[in-house]
Amino acid sequence: MNMRMKLNGQMKKLKLVHQINFAFGLSLLLVLSITGVMIHLVLMDHFIGKEQEGLRTLGATLTASMQQLPAAAISAVPIEENELFPVQYATLSSGVQAIVTDQQGNVVSGTLPAVPGLAPGQAQAVTGIAALETGSLQSLWDGSDPRYLVQVNALPQGKLTLLTPVSRIKAIEQALLKRLILVFAAGAAVMFLFSLFITRKLIDPLISLRGELKKVKNRRFAEVNLIRAGGEIGSVAQTVYEMAGELHRFNRVQKQFFQNASHELKSPLMSISGYAEGIRDGIFEGEDVRRGLDIILGESGRLRDLVGEMTLLAKLDSEEDIFRAVECDLEELLSEAVERINPQLAARKLSLKTEISGDSGLMLRADRDKLLQALLNVLSNAARYADRKIDIHGYVGKGLITLTVSDDGPGIPQELLPSLFHRFVKGKNGDSGLGLAISRAIVERCGGKITARNCPEGGAVLTFEFPSAAG
């Protein structure tokens, strides 16, 4: 089974590798083809331009020399055999032909060999081309013959026509283009091999990441490993690893929640059940019956409060419409919370000092009733552990409202600090272990956060931070 899964994974990996390599190869071929066509056009334009420039220069040189000669000196003798043109003929470029015609368009001289059977007054033959008949020169002069590049210069005796076959330029361009194609092919091969290496470097982390995601799918969060990779793939792998850690922690917390919830519910239920059975069976008589009923009522109230807190936590985690945010004054809420815990403060003979800094007020957006409950939970917790006093300080800075509640008690045990706001986490004198968890859920729904630490001088400090409605 494992071998089959491994084989399937390898086949999918190869399939993905081939798809990427095929796409890259096709893109590379397309780019090189377009580049080759563009280079071909650029080279042809360059060579034709250079050849035309050379024909113009050569035509100007020959024309300047011929204008000094009498008309009779230019006979039907080819230029290369005419003793009057040794220097001019030497300047002709390789592959450039020259034709001199009179005023009537008859060829009187040139670098072209004579064609057998043609009268001296008819046109000569172009090397490698069929014989030019009389009148064919007109197509050269008009530029309508695509086989040649032509330069025509006027002479007192007639016209000087220079021409060179385009096929010669194409041969030179194609020879250079072939060399460039060989260079391109070698570069493409190197790039393709490099792409194979890069593709495997990219695909291997993705295949490994796919395996880790399967572990997440199968809820094996603790077995998920961090895949080492660079770039965006590395970021995704890091996110998957952190997500698996959070899911593992959440799964563990959920299990602990059910275990703790069952334990917290079991204790009052056992008390209620035990005293109810004792009263029913007549074990308790007289005053004991009344005391048993008081215990049943007390445990029922505790059970009701516990179920209410658990229900509130569940609603805060899942229901959006339970939280109705309005603009409210945190200073006003704080005063109301202090009034409500005054009996607890008086019972333990504690002093409470409140200090609010700044004149802008502590205005924020929150569900007023639920934020009041969060404050009551924190203040009640401080009153439970304080020795003599509780200090509250609130201020606004950089768009944040900060509220600190500190006491002079023994502080928070170090082992409880990381999980203090988790459900059913409570200290030595704690109640249900849900108060601070509810406070954190409410504060986070308000867009804020709550943290806890110990003072170096002793005692615990709980800090609220909220975005200011005024900022």
Whole-angstrom Cα distance, residue 438 to residue 154? 104
pTM to 2 decimals?
0.47
Higher confidence at residue 446 or residue 22? 446
Averaged pLDDT for residues 289-297: 84
Higher confidence at residue 17 or residue 390? 390
Burial zone of 204 (CB within 10 Å; 0-12 exposed, 13-18 middle, 19+ buried)? middle
Do residues 381 and 436 make contact, with C-beta atoms less than 8 angstroms apart?
yes
What's the confidence (pLDDT) of residue 281? Answer: 80
What's the confidence (pLDDT) of residue 260? Answer: 65
What's the confidence (pLDDT) of residue 199? Answer: 72
As a three-state string, the secondary structure of 316-381 is HHHCCCCCCCEEEEHHHHHHHHHHHCHHHHHHCCCEEEEEECCCCCCEEEECHHHHHHHHHHHHHH
Closest to 170 measured CA to CA, from 320, 330, 295, 51: 51
Model confidence pLDDT, tens digit, residues 162-172? 888 888 878 87
Mean pLDDT, rounded, of the chain: 75
Look at residue 3 and tell me whether its pLDDT is greater than 70. no
Question: Token match 């275990």: residue?
Answer: 259
Q: How confident is the model at residue 462 (pLDDT cuts 50, 70, 90)?
A: very high
Give residues with Cβ within 8 angstroms of 9, minimum separation 6: 207, 210, 211
Model confidence pLDDT, tens digit, residues 22-55? 777 777 778 878 887 888 788 788 888 888 888 8
Model confidence pLDDT, tens digit, residues 215-225? 888 888 888 88
What's the confidence (pLDDT) of residue 399? Answer: 80
Comparing 4-13, 144-153, 235-244, which segment has the lowest mean pLDDT? 4-13
Whole-angstrom Cα distance, residue 215 to residue 12? 18
Look at residue 93 and tell me whether its pLDDT is greater than 60. no
Distance of CA 357 to the CA centre of its chain: 44
How many CA within 13 A on the CB side of residue 398?
2
Give residues with Cβ within 8 angstroms of 471, minimum separation 6: 396, 398, 399, 400
